[in-house]
Protein backbone atom coordinates (compact mmCIF):
# COMPACT_ATOMS: atom_id res chain seq x y z
CA UNK A 1 0.00 0.00 0.00
CA UNK A 2 1.31 3.45 -0.86
CA UNK A 3 1.05 6.32 1.55
CA UNK A 4 -1.86 8.68 1.09
CA UNK A 5 -0.73 11.43 -1.29
CA UNK A 6 -1.92 15.06 -1.28
CA UNK A 7 -4.48 14.55 -4.03
CA UNK A 8 -6.39 11.87 -2.15
CA UNK A 9 -6.02 13.60 1.20
CA UNK A 10 -7.59 16.67 -0.37
CA UNK A 11 -10.45 14.60 -1.76
CA UNK A 12 -10.92 12.98 1.63
CA UNK A 13 -11.16 16.31 3.46
CA UNK A 14 -12.98 18.35 0.79
CA UNK A 15 -15.79 15.87 0.33
CA UNK A 16 -17.33 16.21 3.81
CA UNK A 17 -16.54 19.94 3.99
CA UNK A 18 -18.30 20.63 0.68
CA UNK A 19 -21.14 18.37 1.76
CA UNK A 20 -21.60 20.47 4.89
CA UNK A 21 -21.45 23.76 2.99
CA UNK A 22 -23.49 23.13 -0.14
CA UNK A 23 -25.49 19.91 0.01
CA UNK A 24 -29.11 19.73 1.17
CA UNK A 25 -29.88 17.39 4.11
CA UNK A 26 -30.64 14.55 1.72
CA UNK A 27 -27.21 14.86 0.08
CA UNK A 28 -25.53 15.11 3.50
CA UNK A 29 -27.23 11.89 4.48
CA UNK A 30 -25.72 10.19 1.45
CA UNK A 31 -22.26 11.48 2.34
CA UNK A 32 -22.71 10.12 5.87
CA UNK A 33 -23.66 6.73 4.42
CA UNK A 34 -20.57 6.77 2.19
CA UNK A 35 -18.49 7.39 5.31
CA UNK A 36 -20.19 4.58 7.22
CA UNK A 37 -19.75 1.97 4.47
CA UNK A 38 -16.21 3.16 3.83
CA UNK A 39 -15.38 2.67 7.51
CA UNK A 40 -16.61 -0.91 7.34
CA UNK A 41 -14.63 -1.33 4.11
CA UNK A 42 -11.41 0.03 5.60
CA UNK A 43 -11.69 -2.55 8.36
CA UNK A 44 -12.29 -5.18 5.73
CA UNK A 45 -9.21 -4.10 3.78
CA UNK A 46 -7.06 -5.07 6.76
CA UNK A 47 -8.07 -8.72 6.70
CA UNK A 48 -9.00 -9.24 3.06
CA UNK A 49 -6.74 -6.76 1.30
CA UNK A 50 -3.58 -6.90 3.36
CA UNK A 51 -3.66 -10.52 4.47
CA UNK A 52 -5.74 -12.04 1.68
CA UNK A 53 -8.09 -13.89 4.06
CA UNK A 54 -11.70 -14.10 2.88
CA UNK A 55 -13.62 -13.01 5.97
CA UNK A 56 -17.37 -13.37 5.47
CA UNK A 57 -18.44 -12.16 8.92
CA UNK A 58 -17.76 -8.44 8.42
CA UNK A 59 -21.37 -7.71 7.38
CA UNK A 60 -22.84 -9.55 10.35
CA UNK A 61 -20.48 -7.77 12.77
CA UNK A 62 -21.59 -4.49 11.21
CA UNK A 63 -25.11 -5.58 12.20
CA UNK A 64 -23.94 -6.40 15.73
CA UNK A 65 -22.69 -2.83 16.03
CA UNK A 66 -26.00 -1.48 14.77
CA UNK A 67 -28.05 -3.55 17.24
CA UNK A 68 -25.74 -2.60 20.09
CA UNK A 69 -26.30 1.09 19.46
CA UNK A 70 -30.04 0.54 19.06
CA UNK A 71 -30.13 -1.18 22.44
CA UNK A 72 -27.78 1.03 24.45
CA UNK A 73 -28.20 4.50 22.92
CA UNK A 74 -31.33 5.39 24.92
CA UNK A 75 -29.28 5.18 28.13
CA UNK A 76 -25.70 5.76 27.00
CA UNK A 77 -26.11 8.23 24.13
CA UNK A 78 -22.90 8.68 22.18
CA UNK A 79 -21.07 6.28 24.54
CA UNK A 80 -22.99 3.48 22.85
CA UNK A 81 -20.48 3.70 19.97
CA UNK A 82 -17.51 2.40 21.99
CA UNK A 83 -19.83 -0.32 23.29
CA UNK A 84 -20.67 -1.21 19.68
CA UNK A 85 -16.96 -1.49 18.91
CA UNK A 86 -16.49 -3.87 21.82
CA UNK A 87 -19.60 -5.87 20.96
CA UNK A 88 -18.28 -6.57 17.46
CA UNK A 89 -14.63 -7.08 18.44
CA UNK A 90 -15.39 -9.48 21.28
CA UNK A 91 -17.01 -12.32 19.31
CA UNK A 92 -14.31 -11.85 16.68
CA UNK A 93 -11.59 -12.20 19.31
CA UNK A 94 -13.26 -15.27 20.82
CA UNK A 95 -13.62 -17.23 17.59
CA UNK A 96 -10.44 -15.85 16.05
CA UNK A 97 -8.05 -18.05 18.03
CA UNK A 98 -9.18 -21.37 16.63
CA UNK A 99 -10.42 -20.32 13.19
CA UNK A 100 -7.51 -18.17 12.09
CA UNK A 101 -5.33 -21.24 11.75
CA UNK A 102 -7.66 -22.53 9.06
CA UNK A 103 -6.76 -22.29 5.42
CA UNK A 104 -8.56 -20.01 3.02
CA UNK A 105 -11.68 -22.01 2.18
CA UNK A 106 -12.23 -23.22 5.75
CA UNK A 107 -11.68 -19.73 7.11
CA UNK A 108 -14.31 -18.43 4.70
CA UNK A 109 -16.74 -21.15 5.81
CA UNK A 110 -16.08 -20.60 9.51
CA UNK A 111 -16.71 -16.87 9.21
CA UNK A 112 -19.81 -17.61 7.14
CA UNK A 113 -21.09 -19.92 9.89
CA UNK A 114 -20.42 -17.18 12.47
CA UNK A 115 -22.30 -14.67 10.32
CA UNK A 116 -25.22 -17.06 9.90
CA UNK A 117 -25.42 -17.55 13.67
CA UNK A 118 -25.53 -13.80 14.21
CA UNK A 119 -28.25 -13.40 11.57
CA UNK A 120 -30.25 -16.22 13.12
CA UNK A 121 -30.02 -14.56 16.52
CA UNK A 122 -31.17 -11.23 15.07
CA UNK A 123 -34.26 -12.86 13.58
CA UNK A 124 -35.20 -15.21 16.40
CA UNK A 125 -34.15 -13.71 19.74
CA UNK A 126 -37.18 -11.46 19.64
CA UNK A 127 -37.05 -10.36 23.26
CA UNK A 128 -33.81 -8.48 22.58
CA UNK A 129 -33.76 -7.74 18.86
CA UNK A 130 -37.44 -7.19 18.24
CA UNK A 131 -37.41 -10.07 15.75
CA UNK A 132 -38.39 -9.32 12.18
CA UNK A 133 -39.78 -5.89 13.16
CA UNK A 134 -36.45 -4.73 14.44
CA UNK A 135 -35.86 -1.77 16.73
CA UNK A 136 -36.63 1.91 16.31
CA UNK A 137 -36.94 5.12 18.29
CA UNK A 138 -33.54 5.01 19.98
CA UNK A 139 -31.92 8.12 18.50
CA UNK A 140 -33.05 10.77 20.99
CA UNK A 141 -29.60 11.05 22.60
CA UNK A 142 -27.62 10.56 19.40
CA UNK A 143 -26.24 13.34 17.18
CA UNK A 144 -27.90 13.75 13.82
CA UNK A 145 -27.35 15.63 10.59
CA UNK A 146 -24.17 17.72 10.25
CA UNK A 147 -22.69 16.69 13.62
CA UNK A 148 -23.06 13.01 12.75
CA UNK A 149 -21.44 13.72 9.40
CA UNK A 150 -18.44 15.31 11.11
CA UNK A 151 -18.09 12.41 13.56
CA UNK A 152 -18.30 9.77 10.82
CA UNK A 153 -15.78 11.46 8.57
CA UNK A 154 -13.30 12.22 11.34
CA UNK A 155 -13.33 8.54 12.32
CA UNK A 156 -12.90 7.58 8.68
CA UNK A 157 -10.10 10.00 7.85
CA UNK A 158 -8.14 9.10 10.99
CA UNK A 159 -8.45 5.38 10.25
CA UNK A 160 -7.40 5.77 6.63
CA UNK A 161 -4.43 8.00 7.41
CA UNK A 162 -3.16 5.71 10.18
CA UNK A 163 -3.62 2.58 8.09
CA UNK A 164 -1.98 4.05 4.99
CA UNK A 165 0.95 5.32 7.07
CA UNK A 166 1.45 1.91 8.71
CA UNK A 167 1.25 -0.15 5.54
CA UNK A 168 3.39 2.16 3.41
CA UNK A 169 6.45 1.02 5.36
CA UNK A 170 8.04 -2.29 6.35
CA UNK A 171 4.70 -3.49 7.73
CA UNK A 172 3.23 -3.42 4.24
CA UNK A 173 6.17 -5.45 2.98
CA UNK A 174 5.63 -8.04 5.71
CA UNK A 175 1.92 -8.18 4.94
CA UNK A 176 2.76 -8.79 1.28
CA UNK A 177 5.05 -11.67 2.25
CA UNK A 178 2.36 -13.16 4.50
CA UNK A 179 -0.18 -12.91 1.71
CA UNK A 180 1.94 -14.18 -1.15
CA UNK A 181 4.40 -16.52 0.54
CA UNK A 182 3.31 -17.46 4.07
CA UNK A 183 6.12 -20.00 4.46
CA UNK A 184 8.78 -17.46 3.60
CA UNK A 185 7.18 -15.02 6.01
CA UNK A 186 7.31 -17.63 8.77
CA UNK A 187 11.00 -18.36 8.18
CA UNK A 188 11.68 -14.65 8.49
CA UNK A 189 10.17 -14.68 11.97
CA UNK A 190 6.79 -13.15 11.06
CA UNK A 191 4.08 -14.65 13.26
CA UNK A 192 1.22 -15.00 10.76
CA UNK A 193 -1.32 -16.15 13.34
CA UNK A 194 -0.75 -13.10 15.50
CA UNK A 195 -1.01 -10.77 12.50
CA UNK A 196 -4.28 -12.29 11.41
CA UNK A 197 -5.64 -12.11 14.96
CA UNK A 198 -4.83 -8.42 15.31
CA UNK A 199 -6.12 -7.59 11.82
CA UNK A 200 -9.32 -9.58 12.33
CA UNK A 201 -10.11 -8.00 15.69
CA UNK A 202 -9.35 -4.43 14.54
CA UNK A 203 -11.27 -5.01 11.30
CA UNK A 204 -14.25 -6.30 13.31
CA UNK A 205 -14.05 -3.35 15.69
CA UNK A 206 -14.29 -0.99 12.71
CA UNK A 207 -17.26 -2.97 11.41
CA UNK A 208 -18.93 -2.55 14.80
CA UNK A 209 -18.24 1.20 14.82
CA UNK A 210 -19.55 1.57 11.28
CA UNK A 211 -22.65 -0.47 12.14
CA UNK A 212 -23.31 1.65 15.21
CA UNK A 213 -23.02 4.82 13.14
CA UNK A 214 -25.34 3.38 10.51
CA UNK A 215 -27.97 2.80 13.20
CA UNK A 216 -27.59 6.44 14.19
CA UNK A 217 -28.12 7.50 10.56
CA UNK A 218 -31.14 5.38 9.78
CA UNK A 219 -32.85 5.35 13.17
CA UNK A 220 -34.13 1.81 12.63
CA UNK A 221 -32.41 -1.55 12.87
CA UNK A 222 -33.83 -4.76 11.41
CA UNK A 223 -32.40 -8.25 10.79
CA UNK A 224 -31.51 -7.40 7.18
CA UNK A 225 -28.56 -5.43 8.51
CA UNK A 226 -26.90 -8.68 9.63
CA UNK A 227 -27.70 -10.47 6.37
CA UNK A 228 -25.47 -11.75 3.61
CA UNK A 229 -26.32 -8.93 1.14
CA UNK A 230 -24.54 -6.40 3.43
CA UNK A 231 -21.50 -8.67 3.41
CA UNK A 232 -21.62 -8.93 -0.38
CA UNK A 233 -21.90 -5.14 -0.59
CA UNK A 234 -18.87 -4.70 1.67
CA UNK A 235 -16.79 -7.22 -0.27
CA UNK A 236 -17.75 -5.94 -3.71
CA UNK A 237 -17.23 -2.30 -2.80
CA UNK A 238 -13.76 -2.98 -1.43
CA UNK A 239 -12.82 -5.02 -4.51
CA UNK A 240 -14.31 -2.44 -6.84
CA UNK A 241 -12.52 0.47 -5.19
CA UNK A 242 -9.25 -1.34 -4.59
CA UNK A 243 -8.56 -3.83 -1.82
CA UNK A 244 -5.09 -2.45 -1.04
CA UNK A 245 -5.47 1.18 -1.95
CA UNK A 246 -5.97 3.62 0.96
CA UNK A 247 -8.92 5.14 -0.90
CA UNK A 248 -10.36 1.87 -2.21
CA UNK A 249 -13.03 1.52 0.46
CA UNK A 250 -14.16 5.15 0.10
CA UNK A 251 -14.42 4.92 -3.67
CA UNK A 252 -16.31 1.63 -3.54
CA UNK A 253 -18.68 2.95 -0.87
CA UNK A 254 -19.30 6.15 -2.84
CA UNK A 255 -20.30 4.15 -5.91
CA UNK A 256 -22.46 1.82 -3.81
CA UNK A 257 -24.34 4.76 -2.31
CA UNK A 258 -24.66 6.88 -5.47
CA UNK A 259 -25.47 4.17 -8.01
CA UNK A 260 -28.95 3.38 -6.63
CA UNK A 261 -29.78 7.09 -6.87
CA UNK A 262 -28.55 7.32 -10.45
CA UNK A 263 -30.43 4.22 -11.49
CA UNK A 264 -33.49 4.96 -9.43
CA UNK A 265 -35.83 4.16 -12.31
CA UNK A 266 -34.40 0.68 -12.55
CA UNK A 267 -34.99 -0.04 -8.85
CA UNK A 268 -33.08 -3.10 -7.70
CA UNK A 269 -31.23 -3.38 -11.00
CA UNK A 270 -28.50 -1.20 -9.49
CA UNK A 271 -27.21 -4.15 -7.49
CA UNK A 272 -27.05 -6.12 -10.71
CA UNK A 273 -24.97 -3.37 -12.31
CA UNK A 274 -22.82 -3.15 -9.19
CA UNK A 275 -22.09 -6.88 -9.13
CA UNK A 276 -21.34 -6.83 -12.86
CA UNK A 277 -18.92 -3.93 -12.39
CA UNK A 278 -17.19 -5.85 -9.60
CA UNK A 279 -16.81 -8.90 -11.81
CA UNK A 280 -15.28 -6.75 -14.55
CA UNK A 281 -12.85 -5.20 -12.07
CA UNK A 282 -11.81 -8.62 -10.75
CA UNK A 283 -11.16 -9.77 -14.31
CA UNK A 284 -9.43 -6.75 -15.79
CA UNK A 285 -8.30 -4.40 -13.04
CA UNK A 286 -7.66 -6.55 -9.97
CA UNK A 287 -6.02 -3.65 -8.15
CA UNK A 288 -9.29 -1.72 -8.23
CA UNK A 289 -10.59 1.62 -9.50
CA UNK A 290 -8.51 3.78 -7.14
CA UNK A 291 -5.35 2.31 -8.64
CA UNK A 292 -6.74 2.90 -12.13
CA UNK A 293 -7.30 6.55 -11.22
CA UNK A 294 -3.76 6.74 -9.89
CA UNK A 295 -2.45 5.38 -13.18
CA UNK A 296 -4.53 7.89 -15.09
CA UNK A 297 -3.09 10.67 -12.88
CA UNK A 298 0.36 9.43 -13.85
CA UNK A 299 1.28 8.02 -10.45
CA UNK A 300 3.43 4.94 -10.92
CA UNK A 301 2.78 1.94 -8.69
CA UNK A 302 5.50 1.45 -6.09
CA UNK A 303 7.71 -1.49 -7.00
CA UNK A 304 8.32 -3.79 -4.05
CA UNK A 305 11.64 -2.98 -2.43
CA UNK A 306 14.13 -5.80 -2.77
CA UNK A 307 16.72 -5.76 -0.02
CA UNK A 308 20.35 -6.12 -1.00
CA UNK A 309 23.02 -7.76 1.08
CA UNK A 310 25.17 -5.04 2.66
CA UNK A 311 28.82 -5.04 1.61
CA UNK A 312 29.97 -5.36 5.20
CA UNK A 313 28.16 -7.83 7.41
CA UNK A 314 28.01 -7.10 11.10
CA UNK A 315 28.70 -9.84 13.61
CA UNK A 316 25.54 -10.86 15.43
CA UNK A 317 24.84 -12.09 18.92
CA UNK A 318 22.99 -15.30 19.43
CA UNK A 319 23.42 -19.03 19.79
CA UNK A 320 26.82 -20.53 19.02
CA UNK A 321 26.03 -24.06 17.90
CA UNK A 322 23.29 -25.90 16.05
CA UNK A 323 23.18 -29.58 17.04
CA UNK A 324 21.13 -32.35 15.44
CA UNK A 325 20.89 -35.66 17.23
CA UNK A 326 19.18 -38.68 15.67
CA UNK A 327 16.66 -36.62 13.70
CA UNK A 328 14.07 -38.76 11.90
CA UNK A 329 11.12 -37.96 9.64
CA UNK A 330 8.65 -40.31 7.97
CA UNK A 331 6.12 -39.59 5.27
CA UNK A 332 3.67 -42.45 5.50
CA UNK A 333 5.87 -45.56 5.23
CA UNK A 334 8.79 -43.73 3.64
CA UNK A 335 11.70 -42.76 5.87
CA UNK A 336 12.69 -39.33 4.53
CA UNK A 337 15.27 -38.83 7.30
CA UNK A 338 16.73 -41.38 9.66
CA UNK A 339 19.16 -40.82 12.51
CA UNK A 340 20.67 -37.60 11.16
CA UNK A 341 23.23 -36.20 13.61
CA UNK A 342 25.77 -33.41 13.16
CA UNK A 343 26.71 -30.03 14.55
CA UNK A 344 27.10 -26.71 12.82
CA UNK A 345 29.31 -24.09 14.48
CA UNK A 346 29.21 -20.33 14.01
CA UNK A 347 31.59 -19.28 11.24
CA UNK A 348 31.37 -22.67 9.60
CA UNK A 349 30.00 -23.45 6.13
CA UNK A 350 28.66 -26.94 5.60
CA UNK A 351 27.43 -28.29 2.27
CA UNK A 352 24.64 -30.81 2.04
CA UNK A 353 24.86 -33.16 -0.94
CA UNK A 354 22.96 -36.24 -2.06
CA UNK A 355 20.91 -37.55 -4.94
CA UNK A 356 17.44 -36.17 -5.65
CA UNK A 357 15.04 -37.44 -3.03
CA UNK A 358 17.77 -38.18 -0.50
CA UNK A 359 16.14 -35.85 2.04
CA UNK A 360 18.17 -32.64 1.73
CA UNK A 361 15.28 -30.20 1.53
CA UNK A 362 13.30 -32.20 4.10
CA UNK A 363 16.23 -31.80 6.49
CA UNK A 364 16.19 -28.00 6.05
CA UNK A 365 12.40 -28.02 6.52
CA UNK A 366 12.71 -30.00 9.74
CA UNK A 367 15.42 -27.71 11.13
CA UNK A 368 13.40 -24.63 10.19
CA UNK A 369 10.21 -26.05 11.72
CA UNK A 370 8.21 -26.24 8.47
CA UNK A 371 8.03 -29.99 9.05
CA UNK A 372 7.94 -31.52 12.50
CA UNK A 373 10.58 -34.17 13.21
CA UNK A 374 9.23 -37.57 14.27
CA UNK A 375 12.28 -38.39 16.37
CA UNK A 376 15.57 -37.00 17.64
CA UNK A 377 16.38 -33.52 18.89
CA UNK A 378 17.51 -30.25 17.36
CA UNK A 379 19.29 -27.88 19.75
CA UNK A 380 20.50 -24.30 19.53
CA UNK A 381 23.15 -24.27 22.26
CA UNK A 382 21.23 -25.77 25.19
CA UNK A 383 17.78 -24.93 23.85
CA UNK A 384 15.63 -27.52 22.14
CA UNK A 385 13.96 -26.04 19.03
CA UNK A 386 12.15 -28.92 17.34
CA UNK A 387 8.45 -28.39 18.19
CA UNK A 388 8.75 -24.61 17.96
CA UNK A 389 6.72 -22.90 15.23
CA UNK A 390 8.70 -21.77 12.16
CA UNK A 391 8.50 -18.08 13.05
CA UNK A 392 9.73 -18.82 16.58
CA UNK A 393 12.70 -20.79 15.22
CA UNK A 394 13.47 -17.89 12.90
CA UNK A 395 13.45 -15.54 15.87
CA UNK A 396 15.92 -17.57 17.91
CA UNK A 397 18.38 -17.33 15.05
CA UNK A 398 17.82 -19.74 12.15
CA UNK A 399 17.20 -18.08 8.76
CA UNK A 400 16.25 -19.81 5.56
CA UNK A 401 16.14 -19.32 1.79
CA UNK A 402 14.01 -21.34 -0.60
CA UNK A 403 14.61 -23.22 -3.83
CA UNK A 404 12.35 -21.18 -6.02
CA UNK A 405 10.11 -18.26 -5.32
CA UNK A 406 7.05 -16.89 -6.99
CA UNK A 407 7.31 -13.50 -5.34
CA UNK A 408 6.83 -10.56 -7.64
CA UNK A 409 9.88 -8.35 -7.87
CA UNK A 410 12.09 -10.61 -5.85
CA UNK A 411 15.34 -11.92 -7.14
CA UNK A 412 17.35 -14.89 -6.03
CA UNK A 413 19.55 -12.87 -3.72
CA UNK A 414 16.62 -10.90 -2.25
CA UNK A 415 15.47 -14.08 -0.58
CA UNK A 416 18.89 -14.65 0.98
CA UNK A 417 19.15 -10.96 1.84
CA UNK A 418 15.83 -11.16 3.69
CA UNK A 419 17.16 -14.07 5.72
CA UNK A 420 20.43 -12.29 6.50
CA UNK A 421 18.58 -9.12 7.43
CA UNK A 422 16.78 -10.92 10.26
CA UNK A 423 20.18 -11.21 11.97
CA UNK A 424 20.02 -14.98 12.02
CA UNK A 425 23.08 -16.76 13.47
CA UNK A 426 22.51 -19.75 11.22
CA UNK A 427 21.37 -19.70 7.60
CA UNK A 428 19.89 -22.60 5.70
CA UNK A 429 20.24 -22.04 1.94
CA UNK A 430 18.33 -24.32 -0.44
CA UNK A 431 19.99 -24.47 -3.89
CA UNK A 432 20.90 -20.80 -4.08
CA UNK A 433 22.92 -21.49 -7.24
CA UNK A 434 20.29 -23.42 -9.17
CA UNK A 435 20.00 -21.89 -12.62
CA UNK A 436 22.56 -19.20 -11.81
CA UNK A 437 25.07 -17.80 -14.26
CA UNK A 438 28.84 -18.12 -13.66
CA UNK A 439 28.90 -14.51 -12.54
CA UNK A 440 26.11 -15.12 -10.01
CA UNK A 441 27.91 -18.22 -8.77
CA UNK A 442 31.07 -16.30 -8.01
CA UNK A 443 28.99 -13.58 -6.28
CA UNK A 444 27.41 -16.31 -4.21
CA UNK A 445 30.81 -17.77 -3.29
CA UNK A 446 32.00 -14.38 -2.10
CA UNK A 447 28.76 -13.84 -0.17
CA UNK A 448 29.28 -17.16 1.61
CA UNK A 449 32.86 -16.20 2.43
CA UNK A 450 31.59 -12.93 3.93
CA UNK A 451 28.99 -14.80 5.97
CA UNK A 452 31.72 -17.04 7.34
CA UNK A 453 33.88 -14.02 8.15
CA UNK A 454 30.91 -12.42 9.97
CA UNK A 455 30.61 -15.49 12.15
CA UNK A 456 27.41 -16.88 10.71
CA UNK A 457 26.91 -20.62 10.38
CA UNK A 458 25.74 -21.72 6.92
CA UNK A 459 24.13 -24.99 5.83
CA UNK A 460 23.85 -25.01 2.05
CA UNK A 461 22.29 -27.43 -0.42
CA UNK A 462 23.46 -27.41 -4.00
CA UNK A 463 24.11 -29.70 -6.91
CA UNK A 464 27.22 -27.79 -7.95
CA UNK A 465 29.76 -29.96 -6.17
CA UNK A 466 32.67 -27.80 -7.38
CA UNK A 467 31.11 -24.68 -5.86
CA UNK A 468 30.48 -26.49 -2.59
CA UNK A 469 34.01 -27.91 -2.51
CA UNK A 470 35.44 -24.42 -2.93
CA UNK A 471 33.23 -22.70 -0.36
CA UNK A 472 32.48 -25.29 2.33
CA UNK A 473 34.47 -26.34 5.36
CA UNK A 474 32.72 -29.68 5.48
CA UNK A 475 30.34 -31.68 3.33
CA UNK A 476 27.58 -33.99 4.49
CA UNK A 477 26.27 -36.60 2.07
CA UNK A 478 22.74 -37.92 2.53
CA UNK A 479 21.52 -41.15 0.99
CA UNK A 480 17.89 -42.22 1.44
CA UNK A 481 17.59 -39.99 4.49
CA UNK A 482 20.71 -41.14 6.31
CA UNK A 483 24.13 -39.48 6.63
CA UNK A 484 26.58 -41.69 4.71
CA UNK A 485 29.60 -39.43 4.87
CA UNK A 486 30.67 -36.31 6.71
CA UNK A 487 34.01 -34.51 6.65
CA UNK A 488 36.28 -32.22 4.65
CA UNK A 489 35.18 -31.87 0.99
CA UNK A 490 38.09 -33.83 -0.42
CA UNK A 491 37.52 -36.70 2.02
CA UNK A 492 33.82 -36.88 1.31
CA UNK A 493 34.32 -36.76 -2.43
CA UNK A 494 36.83 -39.59 -2.18
CA UNK A 495 34.50 -41.73 -0.08
CA UNK A 496 33.50 -44.80 -2.12
CA UNK A 497 29.91 -44.80 -0.79
CA UNK A 498 29.50 -41.18 -1.82
CA UNK A 499 30.96 -41.90 -5.23
CA UNK A 500 28.56 -44.77 -5.69
CA UNK A 501 25.42 -43.06 -4.41
CA UNK A 502 25.83 -39.47 -5.54
CA UNK A 503 28.72 -38.80 -7.85
CA UNK A 504 27.68 -42.19 -9.18
CA UNK A 505 27.70 -43.00 -12.85
CA UNK A 506 30.26 -40.60 -14.30
CA UNK A 507 33.09 -41.38 -11.90
CA UNK A 508 32.42 -45.10 -11.90
CA UNK A 509 32.79 -44.97 -15.67
CA UNK A 510 36.27 -43.48 -15.49
Partner 1 sequence: MAYALVALGFVLALNAAGAVNFAHGDLVVLGGAAAVVIGLWTGLPGPLLLPFVALALGIAGIVAARVAILPLVARPPEATFVATIALAAMIEQGLTVTMDAAPRTAPPLLGTGAVEIAGITLGRQPIAIVVVGATLVVAMWFLLERTQVGRRMRAVSADRHMARAVGIPVARYVVLSLALAGALAGIAGFLLGHQFLVAPTQGAGHMLKAYIAVAIGGWGSVPGALLGALGIGLFETFVSAAVGDAWASAALYLAVLAVLVLRPQGLFGEPVGRRA
Site residues (CB under 8 A) for partner 1? 48, 52, 54, 95, 98-99, 101-106, 108-110, 112-114, 116-117, 120-121, 123-124, 182, 228, 232, 235-236, 239, 267-269, 271-272, 274-276, 278-279, 282-283, 286
Whether the CB-CB separation of 509 and 501 falls below 8 Å is answered with no
Q: Nearer to partner 1 by C-beta: 95 or 151?
A: 95
Which one, 98 or 496, has the nearer CB to partner 1?
Answer: 98
Report, in Å, the least distance between residue 142 CB and partner 1. 31
Give CA–CA dist 83/455, Å, rounded. Answer: 54
3-state SS of 280-336 is HHHHHCCCCHHHHHHHHCCCCCCCCCCCCCCCCCCCCCCCCEEEEEEEEEEECCEEE
Taking the complex as a whole, the smallest distance from the CB of residue 245 to partner 1 amounts, in Å, to 16
Q: Which is closer to partner 1, CB of 30 or CB of 232? A: 232
- Listed in sequence order, the residues at least 6 apart from 264 whose beta carbon sits closer than 8 Å to its beta carbon are none
Residue number with CB closer to partner 1 (85 or 366): 366
In the complex, minimum distance from the CB of residue 118 to partner 1, in angstroms, rounded to a whole number:
10
Cβ proximity of 177 and 406 under 8 Å: no
Strand order in the sheet with 398-401: 398-401, 426-430, 457-461, 349-354, 474-479, 482-487
Closest CB 97 distance from partner 1, rounded Å: 9
For residues 25 and 122, give the distance between their C-alpha atoms in angstroms, rounded to a whole number: 31
Is the Cβ of residue 81 or residue 99 nearer to partner 1 in the bound state?
99
Q: How distant, in Å, are the alpha carbons of 33, 88, 134, 183 from that of 219?
A: 13, 19, 11, 47
The string of DSSP codes covering 433-493 is TTT--HHHHHHHHHHHHHHHHTT-EEEEE-S-HHHHHHH-SEEEEEETTEEEEEE-HHHHH
Shortest approach of partner 1 to residue 10 CB, angstroms?
A: 30
Sign of CA dihedral 345, 346, 352, 357: positive
> Please, which residue, 138 or 274, has the CB nearer to partner 1?
274
Task: Name the DSSP letter for residue 381.
Answer: T
- Beta-bridged to residue 486, according to DSSP, are 476
The least CB distance from residue 260 to partner 1, in Å, is: 12
Q: Whole-number minimum distance, CB 179 to partner 1, in Å? A: 8
Using the CB atoms, write b or e for 458-481: b if 16+ within 10 Å.
bbbbbebbebbbebbebbbbbbbb
| CB closer to partner 1 out of 121 and 392 | 121
Least distance to partner 1, CB of residue 52, Å: 6
Q: Which is nearer to partner 1, 14 or 269 (CB)?
A: 269
Least distance (Å) between residue 266 CB and partner 1: 8
Distance CA 150, CA 216 (A): 13
Helix (H, G, I), strand (E, B) or coil at 344: strand
Residue 53 CB, nearest approach to partner 1 (Å):
8
| Secondary structure in 3-state letters for 395-440 | HCCEEEECCCCCCCCCCHHHHHHHHHHCCCCEEEEECCCCCCCHHH
Q: For partner 1, which is the closer residue by CB, 212 or 248?
A: 248
Q: Please, which residue, 128 or 272, has the CB nearer to partner 1?
A: 272
Amino acid sequence: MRALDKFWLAVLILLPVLALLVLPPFGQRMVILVGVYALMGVGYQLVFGQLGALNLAQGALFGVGAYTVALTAPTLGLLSLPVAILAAALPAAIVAGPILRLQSHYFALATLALASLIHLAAVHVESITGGANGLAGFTALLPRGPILLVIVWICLILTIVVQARLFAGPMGERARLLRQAPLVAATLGIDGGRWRLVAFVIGSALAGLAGGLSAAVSGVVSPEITGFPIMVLCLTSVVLGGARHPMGAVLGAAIAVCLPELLRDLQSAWLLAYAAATLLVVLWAPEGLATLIDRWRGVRPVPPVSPVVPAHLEAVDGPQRLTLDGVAKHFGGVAALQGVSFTLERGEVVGLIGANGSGKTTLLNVIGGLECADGGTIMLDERRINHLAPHAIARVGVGRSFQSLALTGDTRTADIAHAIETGASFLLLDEPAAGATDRERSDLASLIARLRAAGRGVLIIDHDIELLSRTCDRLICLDRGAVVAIGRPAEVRANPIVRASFLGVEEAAE
